[in-house]
Structure 1
Amino acid sequence: MTVTLIDNDLVIGELQLGKRPAVIAVDFSNGFTDKESPLGGKFEPQLEANLEIITAATESKVPVFFTTVVYDNEQQASVFRQRLPALNILQRGSHWVDIHEKFSAYANHDNIIEKHYPSAFFSTNLASKLEALNIDSLIITGLTTSGCVRATCVDGLQHNFLCVVVPEACGDRNQPAHAMSLHDMHAKYAQVLPLSQVISYFKSL
């Protein structure tokens, strides 16, 4: 097994990509992709990168899951929402919770995971869906890198999935936080691999 030392971080082992991956596209809802949203930003390059990933995954019969934050009442994630009041726009039935139209050909009732918190795993049925499909590894993309992507990556590892994060397919309103989060995930919880390598991986399955 190859090991690598990243700057002053711990020695890490090289992990082999799994044979049964799934894509977790985190929070590509209008609330996060629309620059007019208080939660949004300019993420067009990330949207295009994800379309490339999701198209390649679908062609290789790799399952794809989308997450969206949805609230039905004031009690759900009340402390989180008090800390970040902009989350209150994410009400069920609103335009803000819908997955971006760029992915309309791929998102459906069965592969959209509704959540109240940053992680795609916390209090959702994502883990059981992945287990039912015998998934062994996750390709994680999404918004934002330092928030919901990182939380999903950490929880993915804690469910013992091999996690890969694709930097071109993740975005953040804070660029230093984006870079630091990618560094931190690669140093401890995941492999950060370029878009081109992930596409080649799908084609090899």
Structure 2
Amino acid sequence: MKTALLLIDIQNDYFPHGKMELVEPIEASLRAKQILTDFREKGWPVFHIQHISIRQGATFFLPGTDGIKIHENVEPLPDEVVIQKHYPNSFRETDLLSQLQKREINRLVICGMMTHMCIDATTRAAFDYGFECVVIHDACASRNLTFNGETIPAEHVHLSFLAALNGTYARVLGAEEFLRT
């Protein structure tokens, strides 16, 4: 089985003082860095996904801002692929699928931000394309959401989406557990 790492949207706007600060993004990025280091040591393929917003009225990930830069904790090396996207699903209107197929990848390890949006959308799409997926739960981050006048804490949002993915769409593991296997 040929495995690749997808690091999705670990970008400055999600960190302290960014335009869409998440809950515990630094901790998640440091766990993603552990996974990234492991892949680099093994010489396995790494794909950095970078969201750049083109939607009218967007408030973050705006072109030409520091907010779109990939965070220094997981900064790409010159030989690592960076794929820019404009939608939550990393496959939509990008060449991600063709790049994975060209390298005969059939298993994806997924880390990044936001659990409830781009991690969820990309994982479900990857499963539909036939990839085996592993989501590293503590290398992902989310934020508080509101619905019907209620605030749902980020921890509940994060765990709910991971619970929905686990089993059918992905195997959900912690970073340490993944690194041991």
Identity %: 26
Distance (whole Å) between structure 2 residues aligned to residue 69 and residue 108 of structure 1: 19
* Equivalence map 1:90-129=2 (5 Å): 90-104=61-75, 106-108=76-78, 111-129=81-99
The higher radius of gyration belongs to 1
SS where residue 170 of structure 1 aligns? strand
**Aligned counterpart, 2:141:** 171
Distance (whole Å) between structure 2 residues aligned to residue 198 and residue 189 of structure 1: 17
Distance (whole Å) between structure 1 residues aligned to residue 9 and residue 92 of structure 2: 14
* Equivalence map 1:55-70=2 (5 Å): 55-70=37-52
Unaligned runs of 5+ in 2: 144-153
**Aligned counterpart, 1:4:** none
Instruction: Mark the CA change 1:115 to 1:109 in structure 2 (over 3 Å): closer, same or farther.
Output: farther
Distance (whole Å) between structure 1 residues aligned to residue 102 and residue 136 of structure 2: 25
Distance (whole Å) between structure 1 residues aligned to residue 100 and residue 39 of structure 2: 15
* Equivalence map 1:183-194=2 (5 Å): 183-194=163-174
Q: How many residues align?
A: 170
Deviations 1:20-64 (A, max 9, x none): 1001011001112x2212312231111110110000011111111
Distance (whole Å) between structure 1 residues aligned to residue 78 and residue 90 of structure 2: 16
**Aligned counterpart, 2:146:** none
**Aligned counterpart, 2:4:** 22
**Aligned counterpart, 1:35:** 16
**Aligned counterpart, 1:14:** none
**Aligned counterpart, 1:48:** 30
Instruction: Mark the CA change 1:69 to 1:109 in structure 2 (over 3 Å): closer, same or farther.
Output: farther
SS where residue 165 of structure 1 aligns? strand
Instruction: Answer yes or no: is the 8 Å Cα contact 1:99–1:107 preserved in 2.
Output: no
Distance (whole Å) between structure 2 residues aligned to residue 69 and residue 47 of structure 1: 16
Offset at residue 199 of structure 1 (A):
1.4
Distance (whole Å) between structure 2 residues aligned to residue 149 and residue 66 of structure 1: 13
Q: What is the RMSD computed on CA atoms of the aligned residues? A: 1.6
